[in-house]
Amino acid sequence: MKNILLGIAILLIFPVSMAQEIPIKGDQLFGNLKARHIGPAVMSGRITDIDLHPTKDNIIYAGAAGGGVWKSTDSGTFFNSIFDEHAQSIGCVAVDPVDPDNIVWVGTGETWVRNSVSVGDGIYKTTDGGTNWKKMGFENSERISGIKINPNNNQEIYVGVLGALWSDSEERGVYKTTDGGETWNKILYINETTGVADIAMDPTNPNILYASMWQVRRSPWSFNSGGEHSALYKTTDGGKNWNKIHNGFPNGKLGRIALAIAPSQPETVYVVLETEEAKSNGLYRSDDGGNSWEHLNNNFELVVRPFYFSRITVDPKNPDVLVKAGLYGAISRDGGKTFKNLGNMHPDIHDIAFHINNSEIMYVGTDGGVYRSWNGGSTLEIVENIPVSQYYHVSVDDAEPYNVYGGLQDNGSWYGPSAAPGGVKAKHWNSVGYGDGFRVLKHPTKNIIYSEMQGAANVWRYDVDRNQTKTIQPMAEKGDPKLRFNWNPPMALSNFYPDRFYMGSQFLHRSDDMGDTWTKISPDLTTNDPKKQDQSSSGGLSIDNSGAETHTTIFTIAESPLDENIIWVGTDDGNVQITQDGGKTWTNTVANIPDLPKNTWCYKIYASNFHKGTAYAVFEGHATGDMNPYAYKTSDFGKTWKSIITDDIIGFARSIHEDYENENLLFLGTEFGLFVTVDGGQNWSRFTNNMPAASVMYIALHKKTSDLVLATHGRGIIIIDDISPLREITPEILDKEVHFFSSKPFVMKEDSGFAENFGTETQFIGQNPSSNARIVYYLNKRHTFGKMELEVQDMEGNKIATLNAGKSKGLNIVDWSFTSKGPKIAEAKTLSFGGFATPRVPAGTYNVVMIKGKETFTHTIEVVYDPNTIVTPQGREERQKMVEILFDMNEELAYQVYKVNTTIQHAETLLAEDPKSKKVSEAVINELNTLLKSMVITTGDNYVASAEPELREKLADLYSGVVNNYDKPTGAQMANYESVKALYDEIMDRYESIQKKEVSKYESYLSKNNKESLSFQTKEEFLK
């Protein structure tokens, strides 16, 4: 009730304030079918950059690796996403120093270029604090490392573009605009392999800038940081001339260079170098604006993984206090001579920002979200509401509600419920694996979970009930070469044998005993190209052989749901292999795939649910610089393949799922979101309803609920509940004015547990699905003019409930809570909360009736009782009987109270105008007022000053008690009923006798004196 009233207030303050073409697409098709987010935020995800408002200390912006931009206006207590519609991989965020309330720049494309890094698509500007964004160029920049705005003239901006990671590109270097971003000039460019890693502007002289140039390249099998072109440059004339400033640097090649100016003493500049020799790596300081450098420190935190941690932040008030990002992050308070680690928080620190006024307060961006320190980095607390978890994979089980399983970048493996009392909270998530997590699978019949870490260094079989794990990864046997497992190693369950479990190295391994023993059922299915197998020297100047670049591996395994002997395997080096005899023989079909560049990574094969020979294969070549989407379908075991990609698709594709019932309904996940086709790939629609442009790495479809469950790499798990209406969409339906979609019988759940919220005030809480009847219809036009009503009727045409009709063009989803109207409650001095209880309808069929203008559309639905309940049919019957009795008694009382009040008012009016009536009118007034006091509460308030309950309150409370139980009324309730009924009868008798005596005399008086007689609405009118 309170919420509604509040809603009214807000509202009021404001507004007065197939062969055939699918004719509509996107938002016009999906209407108000919306995604819901369940996070989790318990481990948050990688934060790449933090920027603060320069004068308002409560405003913070945080950019995420795959989760967009988040803004806090309360010093980091809450963050909200403000960049949903655009590329979610963020390189940098820059608040305009001249108009910081309104203008913010975002450079997309993360610059902490790990193997799994995503891509950006340019630079964006908002002029209203983040509500609306406009792209301002650099479409092909892939990643932006820095944006520096002249504090005296915000039309003059410098942008550092790191550029393409996996290919040559000329769109990199330092760019400058003098017209607020309308036009850009490239003012520092080295070559097509070298971009800007870091850029800094002297806060006191915006013509002085430093830029560190980084020669870098990734391939699917290697990483190379550094080269002769990496260098540090300085300009003192706004970018007209740049000079290399290496006086004091070691000779030879350099790698990534971190860079920071001390804001309080701009001649002091710090850099962190990656060099050819370990001893010369680390921190260098200049106190003469870069003319000369002194090497100060090469502690672990200063030199660790330069490609991931090259960030230095200097205290804005003290040039000798600086923090270096790193595995743990480290702070120096002596100008860089010595460092100590920051306090305990999630490892892998990428950015640190000092509070604008108080340097004790720090904000830190890590692989596990944003942390705050109130004491100079000694202790830290996590922000609990940034759900930017980076899933690699998702699977579901058949529990009710079903659980969602998956692994995350640097944040282990987890499972949690798709719904929970009060929403999915941090406490509902369970850890089931260390390290980087990838695929997590629930055993089909036992309470056992398989999970893994990077490169299958561990594959765990976790017995949930016993809390015991066993590591079960396949290992090289005598005569085997070294097994090559992908960083994200494939595992798969069998559709036929619950204990069967597949894993892929370069071989396909099969276990029939849950991983205790393994059999290789294939030869090396990859290209086995030795040029792609030497990772020992990967990394460039700093060796970085983490296993992240292991290549020529199997990446996807798909056993046909129709035939256990048909197994598909896709490899990261572009093979698509099929066996039709359970692994005895294999055929590589990739040569049959048209227009697919050689060796393009096969990211996903999906074996069709409908035909043995049908499968879908998704490829992506982003790690060779090919950003095109590739998805193909074969219907003949791979002899021929046909592309199902159209121009509708944005971003390279990684995942695909076929519907279980309609083979033309397909879901495709790309780097920039989810795409849906209802005609087998001839037309695709981007799904954007509460769905950010996040990378959809993997898709699961829950068989029973038809929920589409998306593993996003940066926005956690996103669910679209019950996509079954999409199965029915045809051009014919889209031609109709109104179409109701069919539905399975709706189950009236009888859950009534407790949802506690203690300590969750600042947590992200995942949204629950609706447990109501979900009525879905299509409108061919948004309903704007004239009346439109939607109601539920019983089969005799009696109105049961009024629904809030959806009026969108496209799909409309309307909830019905299975309840009919509540009883009309007697008027009194206070509110009877029991009167708000609305009774559930009995199981059966009902009509949903839409009255739209002059037309009426009817759709029949069925509702059934919860099969998983403790309630017996007899119990339900008894309850129903009692509900009806009490409902009627409440309404009868309301009517009688109405009559009493009307009579009293009548008598009072008469008394005032006709003193002669005193005898009869006072008798009525006194008797009825006394009666009324026993009927309803006539004093007190709605809280602790409430009066003792009278008949109305006793009756309504008993009624709501019976309504809110699903089972038969308790013995106590029945005994209470007898007591309330006795009181009810007594009061009604008293009223009758007053009517016979005092009221009757009063009426005679009226009649004799030609006064207006007493008149009442009929009960039917009253209850209307």
Q: Which amino acid is at 929?
A: N
- Smallest distance from the beta carbon of 391 to other proteins, in angstroms? 24
Q: Which listed residue (246, 427, 809, 1019) binds other proteins by CB under 8 A?
A: 809
For residue 929, what are the CA distances in angstroms to 585, 896, 905, 940, 994?
94, 13, 11, 16, 11
**Residues 598/527, Cβ–Cβ less than 8 Å:** no
Choose between 280 and 832: whose C-beta lies nearer to other proteins. Answer: 832
1021 binds other proteins (CB under 8 A): no
Nearer to other proteins, 74 or 989 (CB): 74
User: From the CB of 73, what's the least distance to other proteins, in Å?
Assistant: 5
Query: Given the rule CB under 8 A, which of 14-22, 294-302, 537-545, 731-739 is the region that contacts other proteins?
Result: 14-22
Residues 431-490 that bind other proteins (CB under 8 A): none
> Interaction with other proteins in 74-93: which residues (CB under 8 A)?
74, 77-78, 80, 82
Is 511:501 a contact under the CB 8 Å cutoff?
yes
**CB closer to other proteins, 260 vs 828:** 828
Half-sphere exposure of 897 (CA within 13 A, CB side): 24
Q: Residues, the chain, total?
A: 1024
Among 240, 853, 864, 877, binds other proteins (CB under 8 A): 853
Q: Which residue has the tokens 């193909």?
A: 632
Task: Work out how close the CB of 854 gets to other proteins at its nearest, in angstroms, rounded to a whole number.
Answer: 10
Distance between CA 358 and CA 376 in Å, rounded? 9
Residue closer to other proteins (CB basis): 4 or 972: 4
Q: Which of 639, 703, 829, 881 binds other proteins (CB under 8 A)?
A: 829
**In the complex, minimum distance from the CB of residue 935 to other proteins, in angstroms, rounded to a whole number:** 12
Closest distance of CB 852 from other proteins, Å: 10
Torsion of CA 998, 1003, 1008, 1013, to 10 degrees: 150
Binders of other proteins among residues 725 to 764 (CB under 8 A) are 762
Determine which residue in the list 192, 512, 563, 827 makes contact with other proteins, applying CB under 8 A.
827
Buried b (16+ CB within 10 A) or exposed e, 601-625: bbbbbbbbbeebbbbbbbbbbbbbb
Smallest distance from other proteins to CB 801, Å: 8
Q: Which stretch binds other proteins (CB under 8 A): 8-16, 427-435, 663-671, 679-687?
A: 8-16
Judged by CB under 8 A, the chain residues 19 through 48 that form the site for other proteins are: 24, 26-29, 31-32
Q: Which of 164, 190, 508, 828 binds other proteins (CB under 8 A)?
A: 828
| Smallest distance from other proteins to CB 16, Å | 5
1020 lies in the binding site for other proteins (CB under 8 A): no
Does 60 interact with other proteins (rule: CB under 8 A)? Answer: no
| 186-194, 333-341, 628-636, 834-842 -> range binding other proteins (CB under 8 A) | 834-842
The label of the residue with tokens 């121009």 reads 647
Q: Does 825 bind other proteins (CB under 8 A)?
A: yes
Distance CA 45, CA 657 (A): 26
Binders of other proteins among residues 933 to 992 (CB under 8 A) are: 941-943, 945
Q: Of the candidates 439, 783, 899, 906, which one interacts with other proteins according to CB under 8 A? A: 783
- Considering the rule CB under 8 A, would residue 902 count as an interface residue with other proteins? no
Q: Which of 17, 752, 1010, 1018 contacts other proteins by CB under 8 A?
A: 17
3-state secondary structure 286-312: ECCCCCCCEEEECCHHHHCCHHHHCCE
Phi then psi dihedrals of residue 175, to 5 deg: -120, 155
Which of residues 522 and 808 has its CB atom nearest to other proteins in the complex? 808
DSSP sequence for 941-980: -SSTTBPPP-HHHHHHHHHHHHHH-SSPPPHHHHHHHHHH
Binding of residue 387 to other proteins (CB under 8 A): no
Residue 527 structure tokens: 């290209």
Query: Minimum distance between the CB of residue 964 and other proteins, rounded to whole angstroms?
Result: 13
Residue 504 or 766: which CB sits closer to other proteins? 766
Peptide bond into 401 cis (omega under 30): yes
Choose which of 374, 610, 836, 865 interacts with other proteins (CB under 8 A): 836
Q: Give all strands (DSSP E) within 18-138, no chain letters.
A: 35-39, 47-52, 60-64, 69-72, 80-81, 90-95, 104-108, 123-126, 134-135
Decide: is 114 part of the binding site for other proteins (CB under 8 A).
no
Tell which positions 132-151 bind other proteins, by CB under 8 A. 132
Distance CA 500, CA 172 (A): 50
Beta-bridge partner residues of 4: none
d(CA 419, CA 1018) in angstroms, rounded, equals 47
Cβ-in-10-Å burial (0-12, 13-18, 19+) of 8 comes to exposed
Q: Is 815 in the site for other proteins (CB under 8 A)?
A: yes
